[in-house]
A and B are shown apart, each in its own frame.
Chain A
Amino acid sequence: MELNLLWVIQLAPLAAFLLVQFLPKGAKKTAPVFAILLALAAACASIKLFSLHADGSSLPAQYLHPWLSVSDQTLWPFVAIKDYALSVGFLVDRLNLLMITVVTTITFFVQLFSFYYMAEDESRARYFAFLSFFAFSMTGLVLSSNLLQTFLFWELVGLASYMLIGFWYQKPSASTAARKAFVINRLADLGFYLGILLLFILFGSVDYLNLKTEALTAALPQGTLTALGLLVFMGVMGKSAQFPFHVWLPDAMEGPTPVSALIHSATMVAAGVFLLSRAFGLFSASITTLTFILIIGTLTACVGAMLATVQRDIKRILAYSTMSQLGLMVMAIGAGSAVAGMFHLATHAYFKSLLFLTAGAFIHRFHTNDIWEIGTAGGKKERLALAALALGLFSLSGIFPFAGFFSKDMILETLHEHGGLFYYAALFVSFLTAYYSFRLLFIITRSKVSASHHEDTHTHHGSALLDLCRALPLISLAAISVVVGLTGTSVFDFKLLHWLGGEQTHLNLEILTTTTLLILAAGSLAFWKFSDPEAAEKRLRENKSPLHLALERKLFIDDAYDFLVKKVGLGIAALLDRFDRAFINGVLVNGTSYFILNIGRWLSRVQSGLLQDYLAWVMTAGVAVIFWAAHLASKGLS
């Protein structure tokens, strides 16, 4: 039963991918139906699986299949391990049951919304195929039983993300963004890959069940463990857009908006955080690693939140906000609480995909990403989308009792206990978060609707089915965003945090008052600056502070990357290319051939074609032979 459910979850999206790929040309229109139905099947199966294990019995369960036996003998003198074998399989425990439910349900809602969003796109079939392929890879990532298998699917989700960011491949910016995302992730994955392989060589196993802190500290010295943890964390930094590998995430917004909702906010970028809690044993084996993780998370959270405050593009605001929220999750885990990180991951997945879908609704309606333009075009008249946006933003800012409040509160509490400046950094981040949330909200709601934007877009709003596909995901996700936060409290019978192995949140009055005051302050600040969006825009255009300018240049991080790739990397490559052409091919190869040709040409002068020259050579040689013979003979005589 359980194994069958797992197979359904794993293979239904793959089946959708293959079906859509091999549909005959005439039937390509039906592609979304297959994709959505199979996504629904996977979602149902994962909810069923979740309910089967709701009491937490018989977990973790593992189903393994040998994949590759690398060796059955001692390979290296410095490692005593004899059996190296890699297996693939499903590992089910509480952590990934939660994750798989999040992933499959959001996938379903996003697929449904995409039916509305992509209704007029002619390459719809390709879109749904890759969305399904992404779902397949993501479930594989979540269900995998060891690090290497995770890495396998890790790369595949990267591929799906590449394909979907570059979905409108005829736009050069889209294909460049896609390549950037893949290459930067690859850069980070080098560390991940190396870490996995070294762990495999030195420790002999990469199975999650074996990666226990005690076992690791017993087997390996502390320095090695730190190095391994940092290497694996490098992969997390790439996928979860942690500083300084975050530069791909804002550019990834070139993809269709539902893709951003699914991949670049809710699931794939959260895979890094998921991995952090998955292999927590490895990271927690070294205090240095944890501190490093905490620092990186803090930097990411701050940088992301700061960058989000100056964006005009609604998707970029959300992208930087995602980055900073991911930073918060990483901070929580770095501070030692995997449960808090995972809880925030779950709530964030729902409210952030909700936010992206509302953004998609606005963009699809008004054909612009600019929040000022959305405002003047009549953003506030989109009641449903606006309500969903507000709900999502409240949740994001952590207003009681929306979902984000509970999870963020838990992170703050963890950091508070951990001590140090990190707690204040997190408070700073939640201040900024509230600020940019309200900024976005005020600009859209308080803009004057200009007369030029009449209801010209209502024309293609005919079908009731499309309206349903638009409304249903928004409403459902909004509802879930409210409820999922409460699972962290004692309201329901089902205690999510207990189930994950943590403690239920209890209201810490000190933190509650601090955050509420901060949100109020941020809200007032935003209101003060943006209550009149037109005037604010004018003010912005006229004078910008140096900080604002630096933030608009993305703190020069992209420029640094550009310099490293274009000047340093390609410069070295150009030098090597010159070396190959000029030295190896020029001097060594062509040089040799010219040398030989020239010897031939020089020697061929002997072959003058003149009879008498030949005769002269013959005579000279004959005389020389005679003299030599005479010399030999005289030596023999004497």
Chain B
Amino acid sequence: MPILSSILLAPILGLLLILLTPGRFEKLIKLIALAAASVTVILSLILISKFDPTVTTWQFVERIEWVATYGIHYTNAVDGLNVAMILLTSIVIFCGILVSWNVTFRVKDFFANMLFLVAGVFGVFMTTNLFFFFLFYEVAVIPMYLLIVIWGSTNKQYAAMKLTLYLLLGSALMFAGFLYMYSLPGSHTFDLMQLKQNVTFSTDQQNILFLGLFLGFGVLAACFPFHVWSPDGHVAAPTAASMLHAGVLMKLGAYGLLRVAVYLLPEGARHWAGTIAVLSLCNIVYGAMVATQQKDLKYIIGYSSVSHMGIVLLGIATLTPVGINGAMFQMFSHGLMTALFFACVGHIYDQSHTRLLNELGGLSKKAPIISAFFIIAGLCGLGLPGMGSFVAELLVTIAALGTYPVIGIISITALLVTAYYVLTAIQKTFYGPVSEKASHVHDISAFQIFPRAILVGCLVYFGIFPQVFIGWCTVSVKGLLGV
């Protein structure tokens, strides 16, 4: 069985079934979506259990000739870089669908869009053909726009347009880069492996191409100063879309940077690494500082995402196996963590109709379980040991201290700022006397505990046994860097 294509097809199949179901059978539609998501979870678990982390070659390669004349083939394959990302995506969509069980407005369209979105994300993560990379990316962007515009909140038209334009700008830049690579002598293909084998890039070409690709992927990864779309998008999107957006969509940029830019253009990467490191430092410290000033819970999480994506970029910029392993780990644990954050904030917003810190307060009294989950996510965010983020930040910091000592030392100060804003948010939201708006809040049901508990479980598991994750990707990372 072609397992990768099955993972890709499960949401598409679910999407088709949902489209065929009349809109009034809401329960059935939700069940179909959940079934599709469960299939992806199970398949990605099987994938990861069969995955052999000790070899650098591609595994589970699936290839169908499509437009052979132009070197466009439908090819899927995994190695250590994307196998965990596929797992992450499936976990997040599974939890996202469970969390949005209470959606009542245009249920059919909502779940159809969610599945469409996630199919695109899976596609980006598993394809090895740059044309399909671009194609799937576009597939992921459009449903995101619809999800925000139809089901969103807080200035949603503006945010949706901003997000879409940014993402399209990023993908346009990266596609320009792809086309340039395609046009080089000896290339004439979009296939990653063939590009790596057949094409030799001159130094100038590497530098220019890497810059273009970095700008493209940097926009997607919310690199400073292209970060403003992401907090706005986070805030406006509905809960499940925020989870996918912050949890997975932002990771596509960093993943693409590794998979395409660093892999094909090692010299360009070395040339620009210093610049990336400086920008990522801006992300880390600046994002954290700005987060202290936010009044809206989701904006705080939005800017914390900017800050945490900075750690990913810093890890990549070190161009050492330790740093890139740390970046991979950070992508994974940050994905789980923000998904948890948004799953909690979504519930609070549904119940109290506000996310403003000064209107909330005393929620711990009214809703202890959701508070506990939020606090756990917050603690993960401030890099508490025992959670995935701690190990990720540890690895990135070790690598950064060795490669860019000054940047590494400055980046550590963000830990303090992060602690400050996370604890302030927790204090204002959950502690103190019960506020007017918080007094109507009910705690989550036992059923709704389940998806959040999965996320917490993963965070803690990978925090205590980090070697499991590192084991998946370390060999491929070394292969990527050619060491």
Cβ of A208 < 8 Å from any Cβ of B? no
Question: Which residues of A sit under 8 angstroms from B45, Cβ to Cβ?
Answer: none
Cβ of B336 < 8 Å from any Cβ of A? no
Would B423 and A179 count as touching, CB distance under 8 A? yes
Chain B 443-483 near chain A by CB (<8 Å), digits 1 or 0 = 00000000000000000000000110010000000000001
Would B290 and A70 count as touching, CB distance under 8 A? no
A593 to B386, CA, bound (A): 44
Would B433 and A170 count as touching, CB distance under 8 A? yes
24 sampled A-B residue pairs with Cβ under 8 A: A69-B470, A70-B398, A71-B322, A73-B321, A75-B322, A152-B386, A156-B384, A166-B427, A170-B362, A170-B431, A170-B432, A175-B432, A176-B427, A179-B424, A183-B416, A183-B423, A186-B415, A187-B416, A201-B398, A570-B292, A573-B417, A584-B228, A588-B225, A593-B165
- State the Cβ distance, B321 to closest chain A Cβ, in Å: 6
Cβ of A194 < 8 Å from any Cβ of B? yes
Would B290 and A67 count as touching, CB distance under 8 A? no
Would B419 and A182 count as touching, CB distance under 8 A? yes
Cβ of B385 < 8 Å from any Cβ of A? yes
A158-217 residues at the B interface, CB under 8 angstroms: 159, 162, 166, 169-170, 172, 174-176, 178-179, 182-183, 186-187, 189-190, 193-194, 197-198, 200-201
**A170/B365 contact (C-beta < 8 A), A79-B402, A175-B432, A572-B289 known:** yes
**A585/B228 contact (C-beta < 8 A), A66-B467, A69-B467 known:** yes
Would B427 and A190 count as touching, CB distance under 8 A? no
**A156/B386 contact (C-beta < 8 A), A170-B431, A193-B415, A573-B289 known:** yes
Question: Which residues of A sit under 8 angstroms from B416, Cβ to Cβ?
Answer: 183, 186-187, 190
**A73/B395 contact (C-beta < 8 A), A169-B430, A584-B225 known:** no
Which B residues contact A (CB, under 8 angstroms)? 162, 165, 225, 227-228, 286, 289-290, 292-294, 320-322, 362, 364-365, 379, 382, 384-386, 390-391, 394-395, 397-399, 401-403, 409, 412-413, 415-417, 419-420, 423-424, 427, 430-434, 466-467, 470, 483
Cβ of A153 < 8 Å from any Cβ of B? yes
Chain A 558-598 near chain B by CB (<8 Å), digits 1 or 0 = 00000001000110111011001000110011000100000
- Specify the chain A residue showing the minimal Cβ separation from B428: A175
A75 to B419, CA, bound (A): 30
We find that the number of chain A residues with CB closer than 8 angstroms to chain B is 53
Interface centre among A186, A569, A572 (most CB of B within 10 A): A186
- Specify the chain B residue showing the minimal Cβ separation from A585: B228
Cβ of A151 < 8 Å from any Cβ of B? yes
Chain A to chain B: the 8 pairs with minimum beta-carbon distance, closest first: A175-B431, A577-B293, A152-B385, A169-B431, A76-B402, A573-B289, A186-B419, A179-B423
Interface centre among B382, B398, B415 (most CB of A within 10 A): B398
B293 CB contact (under 8 Å) in A70, A170, A186, A574: A574
User: In the complex, given contacts A66-B467, A588-B225, what are 6 additional A-B residue pairs having Cβ atoms less than 8 angstroms apart?
Assistant: A70-B398, A75-B320, A156-B385, A170-B431, A570-B292, A585-B228
- Specify the chain A residue showing the minimal Cβ separation from B418: A186
- State the Cβ distance, B293 to closest chain A Cβ, in Å: 4
A200 CB contact (under 8 Å) in B379, B398, B417: B398
A201 to B427, CA, bound (A): 37
Cβ of A547 < 8 Å from any Cβ of B? no
Would A576 and B289 count as touching, CB distance under 8 A? yes
Cβ of A632 < 8 Å from any Cβ of B? no
- State the Cβ distance, A193 to closest chain B Cβ, in Å: 6
A75 to B286, CA, bound (A): 29
A631 to B290, CA, bound (A): 61
Would A153 and B385 count as touching, CB distance under 8 A? yes
